[in-house]
């Protein structure tokens, strides 16, 4: 049952006076539930509970954290079809996507469970003492990752499961040992409440301290600001717009004690089409990319919004084929009227730029909140000189930039903002002749792809989801995969600490049998 | 020969009109050399050279970077006694300290050389493809750490070698593959020039690109601001005051593209004396701490500036003994008249606080720029309510807080600012009865010490030098030890990338024979 209340720790709570409703974009009507915004008092109480919970949760064993994370996954599964229905009613995303995203979310939670259960992630490092060393004896030093403290997680509009309530950021923070305060996304607050109920149930079943998780609602920005400013909050995870992410970053940087903000923000994910590939298979590339541009109504942060190539007959063929292919797709529903409205407005702004030529726009009538996909093209020099053309149009849109020369193409790549991904489309090994383009692209992105599409973010340890600003606010971390836990930990050293009082991971006899760096060597051996 | 010029890449340069002199605090006279401040034009040129150098230096092999780092160490050694003399003339620090700090600096450079030569530091991670996986094939993903780009390093007043020109930050950045722009410390600019000449010689001998290192002088803050604001700069390392570090952090956070700033700043390094230890050996603890407080004229960031204990006869004995012992030390010379002036002024401010009782102040005549050590004491309640008492007095000063109860002691610890270190002085295993104090302390520090002194920072992989703000601006990294390289790198993923074009570290046959995470397992095995 959806109550519309906040979870302040284990308790449902609705002290505030403001309510709002979520929206069903497919039916183009408001959903039935009244969601109550969290009051300042509730925000404070949640933060205080989190700080109190941190005192015990920070040192709970990996095995127990794994039980908690797996229980969350199980409880989400136990919510069954009703959860999928609420998800779809608040996002317009179809049942298949709901199932797929739920599976990914469960997989993430279970992957983090295995990660902290195995235990190598703490990066245990031990340098034993040398009492006889001259001129000074060497002390015993042992280092391990410890959690930062309570973390605020902002739900993302486009991933109600995988990047929201119990999504990647929450799983990473909980795995690290950090209590989580979720600021639920106002577009899918009921989905958020259901998932929160699963987290709370799991916390209770596995004996986690009250306050290890809270879920706070609001339709505006005030609750999020209160959370990020709260002195007991020690870190922030965010997925969304550059404007939103930067605002949170600025807020956190202005605190008396600045805290780290990992915001995964905008990206146009440039795709470079090399000449031979265009010459030999322009049509199949166009077909593949028409699919990637429209996938999920273009509502992925890895959507290919920018395609770059040197002018040639192959490029002309590609452009024509892309125009033909893109309008073959049936328009699909966007997440919310506001997102569809922003798409139309950003698309119009883009298409009205000087020198921009429309290649294709879907022009038939569409249902409410359905997006009309579009592709356009522009000369390299025009692109270089107009920053507006570099901006992301969130939705099924892509811009093809036709360059005069390889040098111009390199200049364009070098002048791009930071991006999540960059893709090289190459025939056989023609890419070896374009190492300058590859270097330039590598310098602007977090992940580079050979002959593929940027959409589809594999969840695995070798994934890097992030990149130079504004792709993310701190390119030194990933938002996807188990290594994203590193955003929420700090290394900590024990000097000459009694063996009995050390964390298990650092004890002489290595009871958890983890891999440790002992005097410079990676080993699972005991210290004798 | 000292020219007083800047190094703009390999070239000595002095385009500016402003000169300044460094100061010999022991002789209480200005040094002879005229140091020329860098002009905005020189700053820009150095940054552009660094960005150009980054294009090649970013991908130079670990073996070549190791040659460069070792050559720097060799060239510094080759400067011989003259370097030590200039060091002492600009810092007042004695020859023994100069030799020790040079040894540490050479050791750091060589440790980073071995670290990047061995190669495991890149955290290579490989997830191989599963083309047959349903519903979607799994792509091949391979991840590795890559350098951020040009890094600005600010020299520290109190470590002219180990935390300055070719100190830990520079060694870490160069090891990572980042060109370095040093903003030399104005108090030891001639020492900085000599060390810079060694870096440049090493760069030329080992074939590094021009611009991999520059050294820029100024007596004020403008050159530093220009460097941190420069769009081609991608990271900052700083050791110094909270005011200075925070100003740089704020500047970097306000950039259009914010960049990471690792500032290692102030700390009072609380020391907790437990009751039994005080009861059994108050005198020896007092003797040890009188030595630690006055070591290096108290000019260490790990100086024990705050001692906390519960009232007892043992504490009274400790306090009396500390007062007796501290004035037995002969006052020594501070780094600069400004630092000695700040010490006297901060000490006076502290000693004039309501409720503070002076235990001992060295009162005999001293030579110019020599610091009169002092210790004082205060009640726990007074300390809790007066933030001024929490501030660092940089120099040979320490404050003993006498608590009414264990609860008050815990409250005080919990309310401390973030610190580099915390120390527990315990008899046998009495510490097991104070796990609440240990937890509270652990939450406020980066390194915790059992029955030792915080001064003396061992350079090894398990050292964590840093801590919650304001000990450092990002507690997720260390400033000391080879892991400090992580401040200046970002992970980067290759998706389905051709094996021949991958970096050596990620190739199937593992030509560098490094430890890699392959499909979740740490191994040196090839991929077949």
Read off the pLDDT of residues A441-497 as tens digits, 9 standing for 90 and up.
999 999 999 999 999 999 999 999 999 999 999 999 999 999 999 999 999 999 999
- Per-residue pLDDT of B230-264, as tens digits, reads 999 999 999 999 999 999 999 999 999 999 999 99
Does A507 map to a domain?
A: no
Chain A residue numbers with beta carbons less than 8 Å from the beta carbon of B257 are 418, 468-470
Whether residues A36 and A61 fall in one domain: yes
Asked if residue B39 belongs to a domain, the reply is yes
Contact status of A380 with chain B (Cβ, < 8 Å): no
Distance, in Å, from the CA atom of B42 to the CA atom of B48, rounded to the nearest integer, reads 10
CA distance A406 to A433: 11
In a domain, A212, yes or no: yes
Contact A92, A149 (CB under 8 A): no
Same domain, B413 and B314: yes
Distance of CA A151 to the CA centre of its chain: 15
**What pLDDT sits at residue B21?**
98
User: Do B227 and B284 reside in the same domain of the chain?
Assistant: no
Q: How many domains does chain B divide into?
A: 2
- Domain co-membership, B160 together with B217: yes
- What pLDDT, in 10s, does the model give residues B57-112? 999 999 999 999 999 999 999 999 999 999 999 999 999 999 999 999 999 999 99
Q: Which of B301, B325, B392, B403 is catalytic?
A: B301
Closest CA to B116 of B59, B163, B75, B157: B59
Q: How far apart are CA B452 and CA A343, in angstroms?
A: 62
- State whether residue A306 is helix, strand or coil: strand
Quote the pLDDT of residue A389: 98
What is the distance between the alpha carbons of residues B178 and B171, in angstroms, rounded to a whole number?
10
Percentage, residues of chain B above pLDDT 70: 100
A447 contact B CB<8A: yes
Structure confidence at residue A1 (pLDDT): 85
Q: Please say if the pLDDT value at position B116 is more than 90.
A: yes
**Per annotation, catalytic residue among A301, A325, A340, A403:** A301
Put simply, whether B329 touches A (Cβ < 8 Å) is: no
- CA-to-CA distance for A373 and A357, rounded, in angstroms? 15
Residues 412-431 of A with CB under 8 A from B: 418, 429, 431
Question: B204 in a domain, yes or no?
Answer: yes
Contact B495, B128 (CB under 8 A): no
B378 and B338 in a common domain: yes
Report pLDDT digits (tens) over B166-194.
Answer: 999 999 999 999 999 999 999 999 999 99
B498 domain-assigned: no
For the CA atoms of B270, B275, B276, B280, the dihedral, rounded to the nearest 10 degrees, stands at 80
- Last-in-domain residue among A431, A450, A469: A450
Strand partners, A20: A35
The confidence score (pLDDT) of residue B372 equals: 97
Q: What is the CATH number of the domain that holds B378?
A: 3.40.309.10
**Nearest-angstrom CA–CA distance, B85 and B33:** 14
Dihedral pair phi/psi, residue B125, rounded to 5°: -135, 130
A301 annotated active-site: yes
**B278 and B222 share one domain:** no
Cβ pairs A/B, distance under 8 A: 191
Q: Do A460 and B141 touch (CB under 8 A)?
A: yes
The DSSP-derived string for A312-367 is SHHHHHHHHHHHHHHTTSPP-B-S-HHHHHHHHHHHHHHHTSTT-EEEEE--S---
What letter would DSSP give residue A297?
Answer: G
Residue of A nearest to B457 (CA): A139
What residues of chain A, 475 to 504, have a C-beta less than 8 Å from chain B? 475-478, 483, 486-487, 489-498, 500-501
| Residue A475, min C-alpha distance to chain B (Å) | 6
Same domain, B235 and B292: no
My answer on whether A71 and A174 are in the same domain is: yes
- pLDDT value for B22: 98
Q: Is A264 a catalytic residue?
A: yes
DSSP string, B47-59: HHHHHHHHHHHTT
User: Which chain A residue is nearest to residue B129, measuring alpha carbons?
Assistant: A458
- Closest approach of A461 to chain B, Cα-based (Å): 7
Query: If 0-12 CB within 10 Å is exposed, 13-18 middle and 19+ buried, where does residue B64 land?
Result: middle
Rounded to 5 degrees, what angle do the CA atoms A204, A206, A207 make? 65
**B258 lies in the same domain as B275:** no
Q: Is B134 in the A-facing interface, judged by CB distances under 8 Å?
A: no
Task: Check CB contact under 8 Å for A450 and B141.
Answer: no
Is A490 in Cβ contact with B456 (below 8 Å)? no
| A253 contacts chain B (CB < 8 A) | yes
Read off the DSSP letter of residue A14. Answer: -
CA-to-CA distance for B28 and B336, rounded, in angstroms?
9
Domain that holds residue B44: 6-265+478-487
Torsion angles phi and psi, residue A242, rounded to 5: -60, -40
* Same domain membership, residue B24 and residue B96: yes
- For A502-508, which contacts have Cβ atoms below 8 Å and span 24 or more sequence positions? A502/A142, A503/A59, A503/A144, A504/A61, A505/A119, A505/A122, A505/A124, A505/A144, A506/A124, A506/A126, A506/A142, A506/A144
Joined together, the tokens standing for residue A279 give: 């010459």
Q: Is the peptide bond before A257 cis (omega within 30 degrees of 0)?
A: no
- Measure in Å the smallest separation between the Cα of B223 and chain A Cα atoms: 23
Which of A461, A494, A501 is nearest residue B125 as measured by Cβ atoms?
A461
Q: Given phi > 0 = left and psi -120 to 50 = alpha, else beta, which region is B251?
A: alpha
Contact status, residue B462 vs residue B481, Cβ threshold 8 Å:
yes
In a domain, B293, yes or no: yes
φ, ψ dihedrals at A263, nearest 5°: -110, 125
Residue numbers of chain A with a pLDDT score lower than 70: none
Specify if B76 maps to a domain. yes
The C-alpha angle with vertex A174 and arms to A172 and A175, in degrees rounded to 5, equals 60
Comparing alpha-carbon positions, the chain B residue that sits nearest to A433 is B501
Strand A6-8's sheet: what is its strand order? A11-13, A6-8, A213-216, A180-183, A151-154, A235-239, A261-264
The CATH number linked to A63 is 3.40.605.10
Q: What is the ipTM of this complex?
A: 0.97
For the purposes of burial, counting CB atoms within 10 Å of the CB of A464, is it exposed (0-12), middle (13-18) or buried (19 or more)?
Answer: buried
Q: Is A522 within 8 Å of B253 when comparing Cβ atoms?
A: no
Tokens representing A196 are 């929160």
Q: Are residues B260 and B293 in the same domain?
A: no
DSSP string, B113-178: HHHHHH-GGG--EEE--BTT-SSSPBPPEEEEEEE-S-EEEEPPTT-TTTTSTTSHHHHHHHHHT-
* Contact (CB, 8 A) for A70 and A110: yes
Rounded CA-CA distance B50/B47 in Å is 5
Interface of B with A in 449-478 (CB under 8 A): 449-452, 456, 458, 460-464, 466, 468-470, 473-478
- So what's the pLDDT on residue B283? 97
Residues A215 and A294 both lie in one domain: no
Nearest CB to A475 within list B470, B478, B490: B490
Residue B110 lies in a domain: yes
Identify the residue among A304, A493, A494 best suited for mutation to test binding to B, counting B beta carbons within 10 A and taking the highest.
A493
> Tokens 């002879």 correspond to what residue?
B32
Helix/strand/coil percent split, chain A, to 5: 40, 20, 40
């Amino acid at each position: 049952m959806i109550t519309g209340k906040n979870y302040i720790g284990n308790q449902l709570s609705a002290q505030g006076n403001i309510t709002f409703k979520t929206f069903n974009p497919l039916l183009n009507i408001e959903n039935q539930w009244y969601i109550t915004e969290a009051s300042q008092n509730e925000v404070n109480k949640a933060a205080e509970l989190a700080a109190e919970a941190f005192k015990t949760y920070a040192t709970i064993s990996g095995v127990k954290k794994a039980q908690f994370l797996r229980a969350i996954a199980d409880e989400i599964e136990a919510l069954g079809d009703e959860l999928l229905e609420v998800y779809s009613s608040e996002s317009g995303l179809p049942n298949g996507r709901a199932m797929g995203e739920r599976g990914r979310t469960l997989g993430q939670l279970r992957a983090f469970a295995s990660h902290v259960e195995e235990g190598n992630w703490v990066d245990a490092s031990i340098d034993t003492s040398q009492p006889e060393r001259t001129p000074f004896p060497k002390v015993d030093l042992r280092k391990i990752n410890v959690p930062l403290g309570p973390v605020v997680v902002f739900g993302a509009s486009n991933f109600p499961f995988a990047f929201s309530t119990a999504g990647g950021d929450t799983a990473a923070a909980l795995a690290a040992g950090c209590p989580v305060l979720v600021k639920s996304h106002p577009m899918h607050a009921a989905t958020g409440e259901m998932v929160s109920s699963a987290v709370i149930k799991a916390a209770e079943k596995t004996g986690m301290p009250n306050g290890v998780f809270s879920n706070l609602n609001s339709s505006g920005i005030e609750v999020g600001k209160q959370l990020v400013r709260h002195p007991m909050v020690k870190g922030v995870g965010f997925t969304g717009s550059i404007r939103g992410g930067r605002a949170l970053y600025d807020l956190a940087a202005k605190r008396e004690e600045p805290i780290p903000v990992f915001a995964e923000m905008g990206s146009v994910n440039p795709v470079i089409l090399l000449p031979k590939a265009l010459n030999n298979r322009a049509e199949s590339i166009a077909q593949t990319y028409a699919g990637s541009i429209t996938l999920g109504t273009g509502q992925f942060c890895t959507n290919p919004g920018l395609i770059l190539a040197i002018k040639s007959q192959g490029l002309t063929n590609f452009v024509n084929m892309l125009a033909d292919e893109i309008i073959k797709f049936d328009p699909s529903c966007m997440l919310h009227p506001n997102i569809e409205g922003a798409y139309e407005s950003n698309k119009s702004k883009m298409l009205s730029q000087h020198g921009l030529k429309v290649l294709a726009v879907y022009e038939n009538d569409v249902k409410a909140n359905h997006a009309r996909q579009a592709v356009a093209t522009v000369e390299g020099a025009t692109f270089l000189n107009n920053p507006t053309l570099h901006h992301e149009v969130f939705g099924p849109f892509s811009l093809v930039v036709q360059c005069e020369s390889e040098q111009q193409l390199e200049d364009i790549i070098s002048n791009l903002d930071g991006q999540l991904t960059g893709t090289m489309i190459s025939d056989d090994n023609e890419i070896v002749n374009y190492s300058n383009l590859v270097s330039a692209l590598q310098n602007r992105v977090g992940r580079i792809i050979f002959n593929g599409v940027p959409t589809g973010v594999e969840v695995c340890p070798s994934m890097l989801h992030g990149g130079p600003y504004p792709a993310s606010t701190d390119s030194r971390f990933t938002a996807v995969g188990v290594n994203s836990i590193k955003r929420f930990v700090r290394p900590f050293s024990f000097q000459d600490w009694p063996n009995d009082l050390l964390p298990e991971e650092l004890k002489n006899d290595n009871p958890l049998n983890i891999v440790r760096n002992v005097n410079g060597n990676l080993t699972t051996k005991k210290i004798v």
